[in-house]
Structure 1
Amino acid sequence: MGMRWRKLIGTVAMLLFIITYALFAMALAEGRITEAPKLIQTLAYIVLGLIWIVPLMPLVRWMAKPDKS
Structure 2
Amino acid sequence: MPIRLKKLIGTVLLVALVVIYALVASIVAVAQLSESSPLVHLLFFLLSGLLWVLPAMGIIKWLIIEPRPKG
Q: Which has the larger radius of gyration?
A: 2
Aligned partner of 1:64: which letter?
I
Q: Which runs of 5+ in 1 are unaligned?
A: none
Greater RCO (CA < 8 Å, at least 6 residues apart): 1
Taking the aligned partners of 1:55 and 1:67, their CA distance within structure 2 comes to: 21
**Runs ≥4 residues deviating over 6 A:** none
Find the aligned partners of 2:38 and 2:22 in 1 and give their Cα distance: 21
Output aligned runs, 1:7-22, within 5 Å: 7-22=7-22
Aligned pairs for 1:1-69 (under 5 A) are 1-69=1-69
Q: Percent of counterpart pairs with the same letter? A: 32
Question: Which one-letter code corresponds to 1:29 in the other structure?
Answer: A
SS at match of 2:66: coil
With normalisation by structure 2, the TM-score equals: 0.82
Shift of 1:3: 2.1
Gaps of 5+ in 2: none
Pairs aligned (count) = 69
Q: Could you say what the CA RMSD is over the residues aligned between the two structures, in angstroms?
A: 1.4
